[in-house]
Amino acid sequence: MSRLLVQCPNCQARIKVSERLIGKTKPCPRCQTVLQFPADMAAVSRSELSEDAGTTPPVEAPPAGPSKAVGNYASPPVAPSYPSSSEPAFVEPEWIEEPLPVPQAEYSAKAMPSLPRLPTKRKYPVLVIMGYCFKVLACIILGLFILALFFGFIKYIIADNPLESAMVWAWLRVMLISTPIAVFVCMLIWTVGELMFMIIHFEENVRAIGIGVLELCKKYYSN
Q: Which region holds residue 212: left if phi is over 0, alpha if psi is between -120 and 50, else beta?
A: alpha
Is the pLDDT at 175 greater than 60? The verdict is yes
Percent of the chain surpassing pLDDT 70: 58
Buried b (16+ CB within 10 A) or exposed e, 97-108: eeeeeeeeeeee
Q: What is the pLDDT of residues 139-165, one digit of tens each?
A: 999 999 999 999 988 988 888 888 888
Cα 190 to Cα 198: distance, rounded to the nearest angstrom: 12
Res 52: pLDDT: 52
Q: What is the pLDDT of residues 24-34, one digit of tens each?
A: 777 887 787 77
Is the pLDDT at 43 greater than 60? The verdict is no
Confidence band (pLDDT; 50, 70, 90) for 97?
very low
Neighbour tally for 156: CB within 10 Å: 16
Contact 193, 140 (CB under 8 A): no
pLDDT: which is higher, 177 or 102: 177
Res 181: pLDDT: 93
Residue 21 in 3-state DSSP?
helix
Please, what is the Cα angle at 96 between 95 and 100, to 5 degrees?
A: 135
Is the pLDDT at 100 greater than 70? The verdict is no
The whole-chain average pLDDT of the chain stands at: 71
Q: What is the pLDDT of residues 7-26, one digit of tens each?
A: 788 787 777 777 777 777 77
Confidence band (pLDDT; 50, 70, 90) for 190?
very high
pLDDT: which is higher, 88 or 208: 208
CA 103 to chain centre: 25
Neighbour tally for 144: CB within 10 Å: 11
221 Cβ partners below 8 Å, 6+ apart? 107, 111, 112, 113
pTM: 0.37
| Residue closest to 138 by CA, chosen among 189, 174, 97, 87 | 189
Distances (CA, A) of 186 to 126, 127, 175, 176, 181: 21, 19, 15, 16, 9
Q: Are strands 14-18 and 91-92 parallel, antiparallel or unpaired?
A: parallel
Contact 165, 156 (CB under 8 A): yes
Res 126: pLDDT: 83
Is the pLDDT at 187 greater than 80? The verdict is yes
Contact 67, 74 (CB under 8 A): yes
